Amino acid sequence: MRSALFLNGECEDFEAVDLKDYDLVIAVDGGAKRFLKLGLTPDVFVGDGDSLDESDLERLKALGCEVFLYPKEKDEIDTELALRMAIERGAEEIDIFCWMGERLDMLLALMYLMASLNVKITAKSRKLIVGVVSKKVELEASPNEKWSVVPIAGDAYGVTLEGFKYEIVGKDMPCEHPYGVSNVAVSSKVKISVERGKVAYFRWLKEPS
């Protein structure tokens, strides 16, 4: 079961996402505004409502969207609540959209959530795709794309990178020495594996400045 989460960050590619590809579509707080603007209805709304007007919430309810409104003072960020709800409803794959922005603290929190939850979670945009690997994956790539692979939530051990300009086999990646930044794909498929720990990968679809 696949789920899509729409956050309240930069989202120039919102209309390019085919909602029919997903079994469960969740608007996370201010992310609901894009749905309302285009006359679309998410399956579920999750958030504390601090980025919406009361009339927006009433419109969502009237359109048949399930609304889960949480207190503004809470320990979890809205994204965590939405991720956990998707998992509780059976999601095995979760794609996150509209996640980029100026809030580096929120981006870091998102990365740790992606690393801590035991499902496949991918953050997607036109510029960048981010994911977390705890075992082994084979991923689409394009030759000459810039990629970075760095440890997350602790050191990573026995890391192997295949299909890159700089390949490694069974090498440790300590957090204090992030040497996996700015690698380059050399084929249409790349492989990333980890014996112990986790790494995050950053696939730059557009060359970063």
Claim to verify: residue 103 and residue 79 sit in the same structural domain: yes
CATH number for position 45: 3.40.50.10240
The reply to whether 63 and 80 lie within a common domain is yes
Residue 105: inside a domain, yes or no?
yes
pLDDT in tens, the chain (209 residues): 999 999 999 887 788 899 999 999 999 999 999 999 999 999 999 999 888 888 999 999 999 999 999 998 888 999 999 999 999 999 999 999 999 989 999 999 999 999 999 899 999 999 999 999 999 999 999 999 999 999 999 999 999 999 999 999 999 999 999 999 999 999 999 999 999 999 999 999 988 77
Q: Is residue 9 assigned to a domain?
A: yes
Q: Does one domain contain both 138 and 120? A: no
136: its two tokens:
């082994």
Decide if 209 is inside a domain. Answer: no
Amino acid at 93: E
What sign results for the dihedral spanned by CA atoms 4, 1, 188, 192?
A: positive
171 Cβ contact partners less than 8 Å away, ≥ 6 residues apart = 158, 159, 160
**CB-based contact 48:69 (threshold 8 Å):** yes
Last residue of a domain, one of 125, 142, 175: 125
In the block, residue with structure tokens 């035991």: 118
pTM attached to this predicted model: 0.93
What is the domain count for the chain? 2
**120 and 187 co-located in one domain:** no
pLDDT digits (tens, 9 = 90+) for 122-135: 999 999 999 999 99
